[in-house]
Amino acid sequence: IVRWKYQQYMRDYCAVIKAVDENVGRLLDHLESIGELDNTIIIYTSDQGFFLGEHGWFDKRFMYEECHRTPLMVRYPKAIKKGVRTKALAMNIDFAPTLLEFAGVEVPEDIQGRSLVPVLTSRKGAVPEDWRKAVYYHYYEFPAEHMVKRHYGVRTERYKLIHFYNDIDVWELYDLQEDPKELNNLYGKEGYDQITKELMQELKKLQEQYDDPIRLAEAQK
């Protein structure tokens, strides 16, 4: 029954992907037919990635790479060169300021994200010197339908620190360069004290920057 359910899940998922691809194509064809294709900013993305059996899971919500990483493709020939790729760390809160800047509209000061325009328009996807070095994540819908434990964390280009909290207290640390599948938890192991300290400092900085209420609850412990 488990294998049958998995196969049904994969078939349904692939059918959805096929439908998305087909309708993206229809949209692009329509924009081209009315002469607006190159005058339209097209962003292809999602809320989160999906587990397709990795770690024995399906769906999403955990901070592990399969669902923490999300697709992000942008087409706008007027400003973005074809085929440019970048390693800049982006977040979905960057979309609003990006579109506002492209539209020539002033970005409100209370928007937490950062415009991706400097990244998207740079030569060969070069990362600006003052760009963010880490991204923040927080999932707090528990207990609820999906039953994914509350957790928050920080990810840099190489490392990831996660804290599962609320009714548990578990930390996880991964070296994404040496362990891209996140199978070896390095938290508390010898030789990782300094990187853990640095990630902890970055975590607190980002919680304060994004005004996450969890920082107040943690400070009271």
Determine the pLDDT at residue 56. 85
Q: What pLDDT, on the 0 to 100 scale, is given for residue 161?
A: 98
Nearest CA to 217 out of 161, 159, 160, 152 is that of: 152
Structural contact between residues 203 and 192, judged by C-beta atoms closer than 8 angstroms: no
pLDDT, tens digit, 9 for 90 and up, residues 147-202: 899 999 999 999 999 999 999 999 999 999 999 999 999 999 999 999 999 999 99
CA 196/CA 40 separation, integer angstroms = 44
> Does residue 117 register a pLDDT over 90?
yes
Give me the DSSP letters along 145-197: TT-PPPEEEEEESSEEEEEE-SS--EEEEEETTT-TT-----TT-TT-HHHHH
How does pLDDT run across 19-52, given as a tens digit for each residue? 999 999 999 999 999 999 999 999 999 888 888 8
Backbone φ, ψ for residue 85 (5° rounding)? -120, 150
Determine the Cα–Cα distance for residues 58 and 62; give it in Å rounded to an integer: 10
Opening angle at CA 205, ends 214 and 96, nearest 5: 85
Of 24, 20, 46, 22, nearest to 37 by C-alpha is: 24
pLDDT digits (tens, 9 = 90+) for 65-113: 999 999 999 999 999 998 889 999 999 999 999 999 999 999 999 999 9
| Residue 123 confidence class, pLDDT cut points 50, 70, 90 | confident
d(CA 5, CA 214): 37
**Does pLDDT of 220 surpass 70?**
no
Confidence of residue 221 (pLDDT cuts 50, 70, 90): low
Residue 187 CA to residue 217 CA, distance in Å, equals: 22
Task: Check: CB of residue 44 under 8 Å from CB of residue 73.
Answer: yes
As a whole number of angstroms, the distance between CA 131 and CA 114 comes to 9
pTM: 0.90
Residue 135 host element (H or E): strand 134-139
Please indicate whether residue 145 or residue 138 has the higher confidence score (pLDDT).
Answer: 138
Q: How far apart are CA 50 and CA 61, in angstroms?
A: 9
